[in-house]
Amino acid sequence: MTDHPDELALAEELLVAEGCVVRAATAPEAARVGPRRAGLVVEVRLRGARRGARKAAVHRVERLAARRSLALWVRESTLCTPPRERRTPYHVRLAPPADGSTAARHVLRLARHVTGAHDRRAVSLPGPPDRAAAVAELTASRFGDRLFDPSAEEVHGPPDPPAQPGAAPRILDPTTASGLLSLCLSVAALCAGGLVCLTLGGALQRLDTPWRWTALLPALALGDALGWFLAERHLSRPRRFALGTAMAAMFLFLGYQLMLALPVAGGDVLWATSLTVLGVVGAAPVGAGVWWALVPSWLSRNAHWFVPVVAAPLFFVVPWFGRLLYTLYLTVGFGVPVDAVPVTTYSMTYAALKPIGLAAAFALVFVAAAGWARHTYWGRVPGDGIPGFVLPVVAALYIVTTLLVGLITAAAATDDAAAAVKEGRNPPGYYGLHGTLMCAKPLSKDIAVYNGPLVTDRPVLTFGSTGERIWLWGFQDAEGGKRGEGDWTAMSVRLEDVALTAPPKSGATRCA
């Protein structure tokens, strides 16, 4: 940039305000700088992917110079990564008690764990594990009022590496070709093992033969293989087998429960399992994008008060939305008031959770897209936050999607229930609310019927009652018209004036 004190001071002040580290170029670095020019070394610290980081840093500096009319440009840029120094932590614990009975020693050890008296001090050493160096440093340390006592305290930490170089486990470097290939093959093997266990769990649930229990044998074999892939260098063989078997059992249970929840035929088990795996794999980039969008951000820094403020109205909004869905299902669909049907607050909350969850998943996809854009420095100057318009757009999208999903599902449930009633079948349940077809018979000749007359020749639909009256929904013949001409409508009658009985048979459209 121009070698002028005011320009240099302004450039340094602006760059420091942007979070950059600025220093003057050393003599070797400034050797290529032309006359009447000064060299500055600017360190732009970014959080995100390596790909595109250098270009994003250059764009950030040059955009600042153009915005402030600075005679500054980037002559050379390079990507620097912070060094990662290995550290080994060691913790000092009280030695196990040697006096007293076995029960007394166990009680004392439990008391130490509960009260935290065993956690005396800790030290973190650079480099690989070295217990002797840790003990020596703790012995020589005079930090604190309680010094390290080797006779009453023990040092806990990772074991030292083996003395012979050939005995150390070989750790592949993923930056090399062979190491990257080995990592990819390991991930593929883990995914394949999980897919096979999911399929075996689905087969256990779907197949109706004693031979289905033979599926546990390959699951045990896969448990050993999964344990070897997960912790081949860290755990002994029995522990590896236990870890792999637990993981295989988890996938077996997941596949079993999946087949219980999905109406899938026996031949479609593999297809349903594959779709489940694809869904889980697709959730991984969405979760990563949401993490990159929110951490670190304004939301993560203010979550301690923002989350309670947002969550507090949910205790009132969720039941209200559930009541809205029940109103659409009962009042709009069948003409039955919500207050006349035994519906609890828990049922209303349960009815609202499905559209709220689907809308949240839909909104998280857009948040994940913003997180990926932030992580890859796309569409904006890199910084510590996401664009300000993302939050209101996602909030509006969430509200609209919740309303649409809830109203559409309630309308679809109403149509399905009405179609079932017209065919003489009991309608499917709606989040804890179950309608029943009954035949109504008046107990006296003259009874008061709201929106009558009372339908007695056909089964009528009822959802129960919470008071002295019961609401029924059925087909009323038109007055003075031909038989079969009329409309489906709701009517109300006192419980003590009618007798409700079950239809003669399932699927019947006429009462006896």
Per-residue pLDDT tens over the stretch 439-479: 999 988 888 888 878 888 889 999 988 888 999 999 888 77
Give kind and range of the element (H or E) at residue 320: helix 314-326
Q: What pLDDT score does 382 carry?
A: 47
Whole-number Å distance between alpha carbons of 116 and 183: 40
Domain parsing of the chain, residue ranges: 5-67, 87-161, 180-279, 295-421, 435-501
Q: What pLDDT score does 165 carry?
A: 55
Burial class (CB in 10 A: 0-12, 13-18, 19+), 170: exposed
Whole-number Å distance between alpha carbons of 130 and 155: 11
Q: What pLDDT score does 270 carry?
A: 61
The model's pLDDT over 484-503, given as tens digits with 9 standing for 90+, comes to: 667 889 999 999 999 988 88
For residue 109, the number of C-alpha atoms closer than 13 Å in the C-beta half-sphere is: 13
Whole-number Å distance between alpha carbons of 452 and 252: 56
Burial class (CB in 10 A: 0-12, 13-18, 19+), 507: exposed
Q: What pLDDT score does 268 carry?
A: 60
275-296: buried (b, 16+ CB within 10 Å) or exposed (e) per residue? ebbeeeeeeeebeebbebbbee
Q: Residue 466, SS3?
A: coil
The model's pLDDT over 266-315, given as tens digits with 9 standing for 90+, comes to: 556 566 666 767 777 788 899 899 888 888 777 788 888 888 888 888 88
- Total residues found in the chain within this entry: 512
How much is the mean pLDDT over the chain?
83
Q: How far is CA 410 from the centre of its chain?
A: 26
Whole-number Å distance between alpha carbons of 337 and 246: 51
Q: Residue 442, SS3?
A: strand
**pLDDT higher for 144 or 495?**
495
The model's pLDDT over 32-78, given as tens digits with 9 standing for 90+, comes to: 887 888 888 999 988 888 888 899 899 889 888 888 888 888 888 99
Whether 384 shows a pLDDT value over 60: the answer reads no
Pairing mode, if any, of strands 498-501 and 436-442? antiparallel
Q: Residue 422, SS3?
A: helix
